[in-house]
A and B are shown apart, each in its own frame.
Chain A
């Protein structure tokens, strides 16, 4: 009896909390991706690179003397601008062709290659780091957990909630969902659909950017950092349902818990194959993912 309690407290609980903190990071990344797919029908293969650009933007701002909190607030704004410009100048051009899915995937794939090399040219290949803005840790009930990670979990949850409120409880959100559901009807009601698309893409990119800033003190900054999240973010989006915010959150938290707890029992090298196996299973049983699609319920 006592052994089981001890196991719960000293073995399982830390793993669950760890999993949750990684999970919030994954959800932030998957959220931007799923919104972009849900509304624009665009697979953004450059999402990881936008995450990296957000982190580098913070490095530059902090290097100029700005405190971390200002950088945290400013970076998403900068990233939204970058996203808006990318959508209007690049994505729009292939948007109206019959092969949209393939072409946007390929275009963003090429964009990812270019952005990664640009980061390497500007900042060099060596890693950089931002000092953790909140030091210290919480020690209670035998558990030890860094304060900054608790902060990231909290802020991440707030951000996800804010996005959800934006999409489901505001007028702008209604417009976005309408444009996802039936773009022609929405356009004929006088909504500037192209601008809505660009803004949505900007939102997705801003989310990636803010994830970059938040995670930079934990995971450090280097040009190929985008690849950290590619497989897991896409898996979460697919399993959760492409375009479903609820799906991204639930799938993100669930998958990271599975990974975290399973690492107690199986060799860590099987962690990725396990994830992939989950993705395949879900696709075979329910090809549209656990939940539906943005705008399509």
Chain B
């Protein structure tokens, strides 16, 4: 009798110790993000946001008592590299969760790797609608706003300030450029705007002056553009050079004018309006604290990429604590429909397509900084659930 008692006690002690050990070793999160190349600036904001949140979470005791460890790999904004690095993180580093991808090609490819390895992933930057629409994946979640939501906020602002505007569209000739223009066009036309012209320049185009004749001839009072990064700097400074932007309201996608290029655009960015899910001037206590912590730690202001990445950690924390586990199926169920606090207020993860719902803002550049000029609430902005895969 005593023999059995001692041995079963010993066994249960060992089991308990093993389980306890498993419960206290860190939760590893793999971050596949561009740390070199054209998108390195965005990758930097993503890293800052994730690092800040992880520091806070670990200081407060971690997720369900376990510390969080971030492991970074550079994907160079190249899906082929992203896939290789994602697999390394999952197989060799044995991470529980993946995030960090910026361009939609990488996000989709990494989502597929996550599916094949039965793990979950999330993006905090990619705004292509397809990621939570026709190309949705049961293992991919999106905590940032998508193009349709951004367009909704912007179109609303436009219809209020400039009803029946004449809009000219200019974008870079590739999938993202065209689909962003198409998304805004349909939102704007639904609210009464008129399209007076459209032109797509090659990606990385250096000189936009050949198109100014066409633009002038169409006589728009609003121009919408989906260029990004260096292309924006060129387009806007050249428009100012040629006086094209006189008496013209310039609108753009969320990636058009960002903290990475606003300094280089300078005065030419004045008056630019876009629709985004985040602004450093959002007036609530959580955001004020977040912005001040971020600036203290990194000597730079957070932009939407930094803020959404910060929010991602709290999303994951909420889901794991609700599921009381890091097992993929349990966390996925917990994530669907979950609400969590972010500097932008409370977000909800829509179960049908894994798209986060949040209030959207129209922001305008004034004196080199963005300030809020309009707001659309979450339900109005999100648009229909067109994901049919789960």
Seen from chain A, the residues whose Cβ lies within 8 Å of a Cβ on chain B are 10-11, 14-15, 18-19, 21-22, 117, 120, 124-129, 131-132, 137, 144-146, 148-149, 217-222, 224-225, 227-228, 259-260, 263-264, 267-269, 271-272
10 closest A-B pairs (Cβ-Cβ)? A125-B40, A127-B264, A129-B264, A220-B233, A146-B241, A18-B209, A263-B210, A269-B173, A228-B206, A126-B260
Nearest chain B CB to A236 CB, angstrom units: 15
- List the A side residues contacting B265 at CB < 8 Å: 129
- Nearest-CB residue, chain A, relative to B205: A268
- A124 CB contacts on chain B under 8 angstroms: 40-41
Flag if B38 contacts A125 (CB, 8 Å).
yes
Q: Which residues of A contact B202 (CB under 8 A)?
A: 268-269, 271-272
B204 at interface (Cβ–Cβ under 8 A)?
yes
CA distance in complex: A149, B243 (Å): 13
Contact B243 A220 (CB under 8 A): no
Contact check, B40 vs A22: say whether CB atoms are below 8 A apart.
no
A219 and B207 CA atoms in complex are apart in Å by 7
Output the nearest chain A residue to B258 by Cβ-Cβ distance. Answer: A126
Give complex CA distance A148, B217 in Å: 24
Give 12 CB contacts A-B under 8 Å: A11-B217, A15-B210, A18-B209, A124-B40, A125-B41, A126-B41, A218-B207, A218-B234, A220-B234, A228-B204, A263-B211, A268-B173
CB distance from B217 to the nearest CB of A (A): 8
Report Cα–Cα, A137/B263, bound state, in Å.
Answer: 24
Assess whether B210 is in contact with A129, with CB atoms less than 8 Å apart.
no
Within 8 A of A (CB), among B181-205: 199-202, 204-205
Q: Compute how far the CA of A196 lies from the CA of B45 in the bound complex, rounded to whole angstroms.
A: 49
Which one, B200, B205, B210, B260, contacts A18 given CB within 8 A?
Answer: B210
B residues engaging A (CB < 8 A)?
A: 36-41, 173, 199-202, 204-207, 209-213, 217, 229-230, 233-234, 237-238, 241-243, 260-261, 263-266
CB B199 to nearest CB in A, in angstroms, measures: 7
Query: In the complex, A119 Cα to B38 Cα: how many Å?
Result: 12
- Asked if residues A220 and B210 are in contact (CB atoms below 8 Å), the reply is no
The minimal Cβ–Cβ distance linking A23 to chain B, given in whole angstroms, is 11
Nearest-Cβ distance from residue B179 to partner chain A, whole angstroms = 16
Question: Chain B contacts of A126 at CB under 8 A?
Answer: 41, 260-261, 263-264
Q: Which residues of B contact A219 (CB under 8 A)?
A: 206-207, 234
Bound complex: CA of A21 vs CA of B211, how far in Å?
14
Instruction: Tell me, in angstroms, the Cα distance from A220 to B243 when the chains sit together.
Output: 18
Residues of A close to B173: CB separation below 8 A: 267-269
Q: A224 vs B204: C-alpha distance in the bound complex, in angstroms?
A: 10
A287 to nearest B CB, angstroms? 29
Contact B229 A227 (CB under 8 A): no
Closest CB in chain B relative to A72 CB, distance in Å: 18
CB-CB under 8 A from B229, the residues of chain A are 127
Kindly report which residue of chain A lies nearest to residue B261, judged by CB atoms.
A127
Chain A residues in 8 Å Cβ range of B237: 129, 217-218, 220
User: How many whole Å from B21's CB to the nearest CB in chain A?
Assistant: 42
| Contact A10:B38 (CB < 8 A) given known A219-B207, A268-B200, A269-B173 | no
Closest to B241 in A: A146
In the bound complex, CA of A267 to CA of B174 (Å): 13
Closest-by-CB residue of B relative to A131 is B266
Complex: A14 Cα to B230 Cα, angstroms = 25
Give CA–CA (A98, B313) in the complex, Å.
59
With A126-B264, A128-B263, A218-B241 already in contact, 7 other A-B pairs whose C-beta atoms are closer than 8 Å: A127-B260, A129-B265, A145-B242, A221-B264, A260-B210, A267-B200, A268-B202
